[in-house]
Amino acid sequence: MSTGVELVLRGGVVLTLDALGTRARAVAVHGGVVVALDEAALELAPTAREVVDLEGGALLPGFADGHVHPLWGGVELAGPQVGEASSVQEVLDVVRRFATDHPDLPWITGGPYDPTLAPEGLFDAAWLDAAVPDRPVVLQSSDHHCAWVNTAALRVAGIDERTPDPPAARLPRRPDGTPLGTLVEWAAMDLVRRHVPTVTVPDKVTGLGRATALLAGAGVTWAQEAALYPEDVATYLRAEQAGRLSVRVDIALRAEPGDWPDQRATFAAARAAAASSAMVSARTVKFFADGVIEAGTAALLEPYADAPHTCGLPVWSTDELAAAAAAFDADGFHLHIHAIGDAGIRAALDAVAHVEAVNGPRDRRPVLAHLQLVDPADIGRFAALGVVANVQPLWAQPDPVQRDLTAPRLGPRRSALQYPFASLVASGAVLSMGSDWPVSSHRPLDGLAVAVTRQTPEPDPPGGWLPLERLPVATALSAYTAGGAYQSFEEASRGTVALGKRADLVWLDGDPTRRPASDWPELVVRRTWLGGRVPHSA
Ligand SMILES: [Zn+2]
């Protein structure tokens, strides 16, 4: 039996991603922790129990996905997969085939469909009826703020021309007043979703296994599960006990307007249930300040350019959001707020300021996620309030969603203010990143490429979209690693490759700092280490 360390990795470059940009030639791991770097690690190789040759590739700290939905996404993987469909007809073909293959399923639920496939994101129930007339169908849009249902689903939910629009939501209608079949925002989707048979715990555990394997395969070692109900903390713990979890996870529990005073005790109990877990924590509370711009539901300071009668749909009143944030902060939870429009972001910043005013200053690192349209007057408030800016870099490109749905709603002046990553960094804000999968690609390298280039895969436009907001390579890589560790107060144990930190590592087949960022999506994730384990090896 060798007395040497467990593992030495050598034969490539180690990008520690520390503040100095240190490059090392090797890493030694023992007990799931980094115990030596560079020359000292190479010296341990002869007696190591395992030596891995990196074959000229690069070793980085594992990616931290600071906003992702493994449970929803994992469950969605069991339904018809319409994410690649490039026309309504293709979506219908996939759904029809799935229905034929699963004749006993009482409901067909799936996604994520591309909302740009129909003008203004408006999808007709009658189209789905042509594919599946006999059973209810619910498809989730890729932004998860809309659903497209068939007539059978509308009928089961009792939605007809007399049904009013629910609060902070819409039921788009035909000229005769009958509901079209697109449900906009949560309260509208819930009218149907409450009738969908609940997904069983074993099915959820299976979904978590698939979802976290997908994340580990992309080099992710930690994830912020961005919105769950407290009962699913137990689902995560089941998945962990069954050995199905391939990444560490912190769960954000979703607070609801009106209900939040009653949720406090349940959330605290859910957090306590996960307290002794090695891989799962539930230390965060999630708020939706608003919706999304492409559906016209993000809260804007000035009216929508294409709908001058509306500024969107804030989910909370400003005062109630502030009060709820202060209550959960007093309970010791971290705050994670979905904030997309400039009014939603301002309300979220105001809530954070209120929390500090009533509960006093402390190191609390509240997270605002998405940050699409930040009013320039609010940029400096992130650093001043200690707010972590969590962004989804893949969205910062002029793709069809941006071109066809978003830009017409914002008009040119506000369109040019979107996703101000570099401005936030220059202001001193801490940046973390995430995928928001299954809303968009789960692969960090896809998002990182856009953070640096601000281009579509084509690549378009030539100098990048709003090029002043492009990020330097080191800043982008650090945001997807150290930024996520900071977000969850774990910078002492992960986020960089350093002595004493966990060996949560990813091996890429090439060095991203030596290649154009536009090529990063082609890099292969050869292996992912999670402490002592290897959840992914290709
Ligand atoms: Zn999300």
Q: For residue 11, how far is its CA from the centre of ligand 1 (angstroms)?
A: 38
Q: For residue 292, how far is its CA from the centre of ligand 1 (angstroms)?
A: 11
Q: For residue 66, how far is its CA from the centre of ligand 1 (angstroms)?
A: 10
Q: Compute CA distances 323 → 12, 286, 330, whole Å.
A: 51, 14, 11
The distance of Cα 212 from the centroid of its chain, to the nearest Å, equals 13
Instruction: Read off the amino acid at residue 289.
Output: A
Q: For residue 164, how far is its CA from the centre of ligand 1 (angstroms)?
A: 27
Tokens matching residue 304: 């929508």
Q: Which domains does the chain have, with CATH numbers?
A: 71-193 (3.10.310.70), 201-527 (3.20.20.140)
Q: What letter does residue 198 receive in the DSSP assignment?
A: P
Q: For residue 100, how far is its CA from the centre of ligand 1 (angstroms)?
A: 31
Q: For residue 436, how far is its CA from the centre of ligand 1 (angstroms)?
A: 5
Q: For residue 145, how far is its CA from the centre of ligand 1 (angstroms)?
A: 10
Q: Exposed, middle or buried, 229 (CB in 10 Å: 0-12/13-18/19+)?
A: middle
Q: For residue 370, how far is its CA from the centre of ligand 1 (angstroms)?
A: 8
Q: For residue 462, how far is its CA from the centre of ligand 1 (angstroms)?
A: 30
Q: For residue 441, how far is its CA from the centre of ligand 1 (angstroms)?
A: 12
Q: Compute CA distances 62 → 41, 441, 472, 508, whole Å.
A: 19, 17, 19, 11
Please give the angle made by the CA atoms of 29, 32 and 36, to the nearest 5 degrees. Answer: 25
Contacts of 331 (CB under 8 A, 6+ apart): 264, 267, 268
pLDDT for 224 = 98
Query: Residue 51: beta bridge partners?
Result: 8
Q: For residue 458, how far is its CA from the centre of ligand 1 (angstroms)?
A: 26
Q: For residue 68, how far is its CA from the centre of ligand 1 (angstroms)?
A: 6
Q: For residue 369, how far is its CA from the centre of ligand 1 (angstroms)?
A: 8
pLDDT for 182 = 97
Q: For residue 470, how far is its CA from the centre of ligand 1 (angstroms)?
A: 23
pLDDT for 295 = 87
- Predicted structure pTM score: 0.91
Q: For residue 211, how far is its CA from the centre of ligand 1 (angstroms)?
A: 15
What phi, psi does 117 have (nearest 5°)?
A: -75, -20
pLDDT for 2 = 54
Query: Residue 134: beta bridge partners?
Result: none
Q: For residue 338, how far is its CA from the centre of ligand 1 (angstroms)?
A: 7
Q: For residue 250, how far is its CA from the centre of ligand 1 (angstroms)?
A: 14
**What is the chain's pLDDT, residue by residue, as a tens digit (538 residues)?**
457 999 999 999 999 999 999 999 999 999 999 999 999 999 999 999 999 999 999 999 999 999 999 999 999 999 999 988 999 999 999 999 999 999 999 999 998 899 999 998 999 999 999 999 999 999 999 888 899 999 999 999 999 999 999 988 999 999 999 999 999 998 999 999 999 998 999 999 999 999 999 999 999 999 999 999 999 999 999 999 999 999 999 999 999 999 999 999 999 999 999 999 999 999 999 999 999 998 899 999 999 999 999 999 888 999 999 999 999 999 999 999 999 999 999 999 999 999 999 999 999 999 999 999 999 999 999 999 999 999 999 999 999 889 999 999 999 999 999 999 999 999 999 999 999 999 889 999 999 999 999 999 999 999 999 999 999 999 999 999 999 999 999 999 999 999 999 999 999 999 999 999 999 999 999 999 999 799 999 9
Report the alpha-carbon distance of residue 138 to residue 124 in Å, rounded: 12
In this structure, the strands spanning 280-288 and 248-254 are: parallel
The tally of CA atoms less than 13 A away on the side-chain side of residue 304 is 21
Please give the angle made by the CA atoms of 103, 109 and 112, to the nearest 5 degrees. Answer: 130
Q: Which helix (H) or strand (E) holds 99?
A: helix 88-101
Q: For residue 225, how far is its CA from the centre of ligand 1 (angstroms)?
A: 9
Closest CA to 72 of 183, 267, 182, 212: 212
Helix residue ranges per DSSP H, 276-398: 318-330, 342-359, 379-385
Report the alpha-carbon distance of residue 232 to residue 218 in Å, rounded: 24
Q: For residue 267, how far is its CA from the centre of ligand 1 (angstroms)?
A: 19
Q: For residue 245, how far is its CA from the centre of ligand 1 (angstroms)?
A: 20
Tokens matching residue 504: 């949560």
Q: For residue 389, how far is its CA from the centre of ligand 1 (angstroms)?
A: 14
